[in-house]
Amino acid sequence: MIQAGHYDVQSKTWSEIFVDFSEGNIKEYRFKIQEGTNIFDLKKLLLSSKLKLDCPDFNCLNNQLNFTEGTLMPETYFYNFNSPASNILIKSQDSFIEYAELLWKKKQPSNPLKTLDEAIILASIVEKEAGNNKEKPIIAGVFLNRLNLNMRLQADPTIIYGLLPNFNGNITKLNLQDSSNRYNTYKIKGLPPTPIAMISKSSLEAVILGIPNNYVYFVAKGDGTHYFSTKYADHLKAVRKFQLNKS
């Protein structure tokens, strides 16, 4: 009996197609949730997939943390044509929450984060700021230090998220001064209201299990790494060297 479904018949002989039909070798599709992407990217990905879109506005997901952004496990999922999107999304969220809760139990008392949702929000910022896994614990340490010192986080990616889905690719001075942007960490104190991206395990680990450091400032060097400073004067020198003096 031939099993109903989508089959890949391109570049195959009739005998190969007959074997696929008889053995039910239905075509399998891939759906990849990428770390660093956001809920707006995910909506586009779903629309371009072969999934059955049965989870409008992600209402099939658990809202126990008061947000769904940043609660999916970045991974590649396999499915058959017209499979429910909810199956993948729920599985992904369950996997992420389970891992996050296990990590949270290992948090050190010196860590200033009070709740798991705070850790997830901060981890999403680290995800967007870090250019490599090696620096993630250092960048996480900078933000944890700023929280301890009651400093503003001043993270550009949060501003960008607050401008989505209409961000044009350029942060302006007005954007930096915009107090109406709930994600503008140059204006608000503490963490933004929700995560700003899908989070890798390494970013979550960096925030919850992060290595303590004394850094308070960092600036991108233009090669995927950052220069870290403990003093503001040194930070300004680094900004002049790596940012203002670019040719």
Q: What is the pLDDT of residue 7?
A: 54
Q: What is the pLDDT of residue 247?
A: 47
**Dihedral sign computed on CA atoms, order 222, 193, 188, 170:** positive
pTM of this prediction? 0.88
The closest alpha carbon to 145, from 211, 75, 215, 194, belongs to 215
Beta strand ranges found along the chain (DSSP E): 28-33, 75-80, 217-220, 226-229
**Tens digit of pLDDT at every position of the chain (247 positions):** 556 566 565 766 756 655 555 655 567 899 999 999 999 999 999 999 999 999 999 999 999 999 999 999 999 999 999 999 999 999 999 999 999 999 999 998 889 999 999 999 999 999 999 988 999 999 999 999 999 999 999 999 999 999 999 898 899 999 999 999 999 999 999 999 999 999 999 999 999 998 778 999 999 998 889 999 999 999 999 999 988 765 4
Between CA 100 and CA 117 the distance in angstroms is: 10
